[in-house]
Amino acid sequence: MAVEAPPSSSSFFSPWPDRLRHSAIVLLVAGLALSVLVALGELSPLRAGVVFALMAAAALVPWRLHHAAISREDRGGTVPVEAPAVAAVVAGMPDPAVLLDRAGRVIHLNAAAAQLAPALRKNELAQFALRSPEIITALREAIATTEPRRATYLDHVPVDRWMELMITPVPVPTAFGGTEKCMLMTFHDQTPLRRVEEMRADFVANASHELRTPLAALSGFIDTLQGPAKDDPKARDRFLAIMHAQATRMARLIDDLLSLSRVELSAHVRPDTLVDLVPIIRQVADGLEPLARERQVVVEINLPETLVMIAGDREELLRLFENLIENALKYGASGGKVIVSLSWATTGEGTPEIRVMVRDFGPGIAPEHLPRLTERFYRVDVGDSRSQGGTGLGLSLVKHILNRHRGRLLIESVPKNGATFTACFPQPKSAHSTQS
């Protein structure tokens, strides 16, 4: 590991700047040599004086220039860094970047930095522009220790943004051949990561809450059956039925959670097997026949006689239609009728697609809920959903399955006049011929 040697403090010249010290040594040696030559009669004193004056000027002028530049910096001028090359590097950085001198004054900043923090100006102190105490402390520490520091930069306009601020000391070449310790400040946008982290935390909190509710009911009933209802066969039967329903709800929740994570894991892999939608929809409708009978709902199925092929995952498609038709039977039961139909259409961009529509005639959904229905655990009426055995994950699963199939979900509803959920699938080119 390379370690920088500490400056020597024992030398006689040590309080002198390096350049001046070197010049003084050179002049001392030259003076001695010239004196010897004069003493030996090899050089006239006048000539020796002229030679010494020229040498002194040659040695001292660069130091004066350097010294003048440093003084200018101390008085608030610009650090004499190699401006065009450094400015080009800072300007070319993809993230917001600012180069500061040792006092924290802005030497260069790129367009992204100027846009992020418009108060940052060239030749002005960054501390005044970024007034956060955390940033000021980090900057002060980086300058004092010449070690990198991190801080968080929060921006609230026009939207909340979290940026990680890195302050890295960098030696920058100066116009006089040396280097200048500057501070490179870069901003990295952490907003997407934070959002994902928040969503993950919300999801875990919601999932645990949903699981804890039936679990609490189960342990409560177990206590009752072991205690007060021990010898009451009627109460036992009733409680066991409730426990069975709660256990089923937990199992369904776990199933939905697993399905959701499976679909998410394979979200980037589009299914490539061709499957016929018609028998899949029929199988789901047949399976839900008992529920339809129980809710006294007539299910009308309008499907073509032809094959309707799409590139799809059979299991996922069964899950998708099961959720849509079951929701219509549960939440739209009061309408007494559910229509499931398949049609061909074209998108706004003119792309052909296959649409499977599930329409009910129940109470419908108020417009303010429509954009949030596919969020995990979002329910219009939590009590209603729970009493129907719902988990709040069904439509989220539907959306993810459709995303994987490169399809989309359309939701339309007129309150008091039912709801229509339409699953749209892109039509595979090889299946155009089967269209009726």
The residue behind tokens 């419908």 is: 364
Residue 239 in contact with ligand ADP, rule: CB under 6 A: no
- The type of residue at 34 is L
Interaxial angle between packed helices 314-331 and 277-287, expressed in degrees from 0 to 180 and rounded to the nearest 10: 40
Least distance to ligand ADP, CB of residue 316, Å: 15
Interaxial angle between packed helices 394-404 and 314-331, expressed in degrees from 0 to 180 and rounded to the nearest 10: 150
Least distance to ligand ADP, CB of residue 411, Å: 8
Least distance to ligand ADP, CB of residue 404, Å: 17
Give the number of residues in contact with ligand ADP, rule: CB under 6 A: 21
User: Could you write out the DSSP letters of every residue in 244-274?
Assistant: HHHHHHHHHHHHHHHHHHHHHHTTTS---SE
Residue 284 in contact with ligand ADP, rule: CB under 6 A: no
Q: Which is nearer to ligand ADP, 149 or 379 (CB)?
A: 379
User: Could you write out the DSSP letters of every residue in 95-157?
Assistant: S-EEEE-TTSBEEEE-HHHHHH-TT--TTSBHHHHS--HHHHHHHHHHHHH-S-EEEEEEE-S
Residue 113 in contact with ligand ADP, rule: CB under 6 A: no
Distance in angstroms between the alpha carbons of the first and the last residue of the chain = 75
Q: Residues near 125 by Cβ (< 8 Å), separated by ≥ 6? A: 103, 104, 105, 106
Q: Which is nearer to ligand ADP, 18 or 294 (CB)?
A: 294
Three-class DSSP category at 178: coil
Q: Is 100 within 8 Å of 107 (Cβ atoms)?
A: yes
Count of C-beta atoms within a 10 Å radius of residue 199: 12
Residue 214 in contact with ligand ADP, rule: CB under 6 A: no
Q: Which of 143, 263, 354, 365 binds ligand ADP (CB under 6 A)?
A: 365
Q: Which is nearer to ligand ADP, 246 or 391 (CB)?
A: 391
Interface characters, 304-343, with ligand ADP (x: CB under 6 A): -------------------x---xx--xx-----------
Interaxial angle between packed helices 233-265 and 191-226, expressed in degrees from 0 to 180 and rounded to the nearest 10: 160
Residue list 385-414, contact with ligand ADP (CB under 6 A): 385, 390-396
Least distance to ligand ADP, CB of residue 301, Å: 17
Least distance to ligand ADP, CB of residue 398, Å: 7
Q: Which is nearer to ligand ADP, 190 or 334 (CB)?
A: 334
Residue list 371-390, contact with ligand ADP (CB under 6 A): 373, 379-381, 385, 390
Residues that bind ligand ADP (CB under 6 A): 323, 327-328, 331-332, 360, 362, 365, 373, 379-381, 385, 390-396, 419
